[in-house]
Amino acid sequence: MIRLHRNYVRAVRQARAAQDLFGPLQNAIELEHSTIPPYFTATASLVAGKNEAISGLIRAITMQEMLHMCIASNILIAIGGQPQINRPGFVPEYPGPLPMHIGGPDFTVGIEAFSRDLVKQVFMQIEEPEEPIPVSEKAEIEPEYETIGAFYRALQAKIVELGDGIFEPSSLPRQVVQGNWFPPDQLFAITGVDSAVRAIDIIVLQGEGSSSSPYESPDVLAHFYRFGEIHAGRALVKTPDGYAYAGAPIPFDDNGVYPLRPNCKLAQFTPGSQAHTRLAAFIYSYNSLLNALHTCFNGQPGQLDAAIGLMYSLRIEAVALVQTPVAPGSAQNVGLSFEYMQT
């Protein structure tokens, strides 16, 4: 089971004022963002018209990670903080560890084409709950680490302890609560302890499910179990003994994946080449998205639709990029790169 170092949870539990939670909440924003590039890339690597069920499952999870990023940002704004999105260090180094040293020193996340092994070894490790429903093996817990769910539960408990006094009513106009992308019962204003607790519940439930059910809602599985379906190749169903990946097939055509070079960097390509030009344009657009999100979370919440719209434009650029050979005649195509660039 993937873990984050106990020190990050301890820092939350030792907080004495709202300002002490600024750093942990910024960490949470960075963590939620850090899963988007690998999930986005896995979807982009799937050839259009093939593996549509898999593509749809991962795309929906990716959008919920954006929702979680918005929720964490709203909580930080609500207690007087300012989310920092378009700055060096916000984007993780891929391949490398996720924020807060998630998974320990041996767990690295890269930017790679889709494979079932990637889903099992990386995506399911990221999303694994504190108490997985017994449809797969449960890994041994490392004593110096705690789960992502435990981190959020610690934040929740500390907010309850510090009380409504840490919330600033003047923050309401700066919170991101309007737009066409997320339901109003999932992205809403954080006005005090009750709304903050409810918002954190959404993050945990959508990612992990509950200790008694793999579902985030009656008909929607939590992320971990959706990835489990993809890896198993079958839908999760209720059985007399619990749950099993024994439902309708979720087929995978391994010929429907572009042969991407993993973990591409712009410096690897010759300036002026088609590969360099298209990758540079993609990186520029990605950083434009970070700028738009930063603006959205720092005084212009009405820009959420425009920011998410940029994410869809990025997908269009990705479609052209993943069909571009790394060099003329090469069997490999250019993979995506999420490098920080000041724009």
Q: How confident is the model at residue 139 (pLDDT cuts 50, 70, 90)?
A: very low
User: Exposure of 163 by Cβ count < 10 A (0-12 exposed, 13-18 middle, 19+ buried)?
Assistant: exposed
Concatenated DSSP letters for 22-54? Answer: HHHHHHHHHHHHHTHHHHHHHHHTBPTTSSHHH
| DSSP letter assigned to residue 185 | T
Indicate whether 293 pLDDT > 90.
yes
Q: Is the pLDDT higher at 6 or at 302?
A: 302
Residue 136 confidence (pLDDT): 36
Distance CA 159, CA 253 (A): 47
Q: Is the pLDDT higher at 135 or at 266?
A: 266
Q: Could you give the residue ranges of the DSSP H alpha helices within 79-186?
A: 116-118, 124-127, 148-162
CA atoms within 13 A on the CB side of 153: 11
Tokens 């820009």 identify what position? 303
Closest CA to 103 of 73, 40, 148: 148
CA distances, 264 to each of 112, 203, 332 (Å): 9, 31, 11
Residue 220, strand partner residues? 217
Predicted structure pTM score:
0.88
Distance CA 127, CA 208 (A): 6
Neighbours of 168 (CB within 10 A): 14
Residue 146 confidence (pLDDT): 64
Distance CA 255, CA 303 (A): 39
Distance CA 66, CA 214 (A): 21
Distance CA 336, CA 111 (A): 7
User: Exposure of 104 by Cβ count < 10 A (0-12 exposed, 13-18 middle, 19+ buried)?
Assistant: middle
Residue 140 confidence (pLDDT): 34
State mean pLDDT over 212-228: 87
Q: How confident is the model at residue 138 (pLDDT cuts 50, 70, 90)?
A: very low
Indicate whether 43 pLDDT > 50.
yes
Residues 6+ apart with CB under 8 A from 112: 38, 41, 42, 45, 118, 260, 262, 263, 335
Indicate whether 63 pLDDT > 80.
yes
Rg (CA), the chain: 20
Concatenated DSSP letters for 279-298? Answer: HHHHHHHHHHHHHHHHHHHT
Distance CA 123, CA 39 (A): 8
Helix or strand (DSSP H, E) at 59: helix 52-78
- Tens-place pLDDT, residues 235-280: 999 888 889 999 999 999 999 999 999 999 999 999 999 999 999 9
Instruction: Tell me what the pLDDT averaged over the chain comes to.
Output: 90
- Tens-place pLDDT, residues 153-165: 999 999 999 999 9
State mean pLDDT over 226-243: 91
- The amino acid occupying position 7 is N
User: Is the distance from CB of 318 to CB of 40 less than 8 angstroms?
Assistant: yes
For the chain, percent helix, then strand, then coil, each to nearest 5? Answer: 50, 10, 40
Residues 6+ apart with CB under 8 A from 121: none
Residue 8 confidence (pLDDT): 87
Indicate whether 326 pLDDT > 80.
yes
Distance CA 204, CA 300 (A): 27
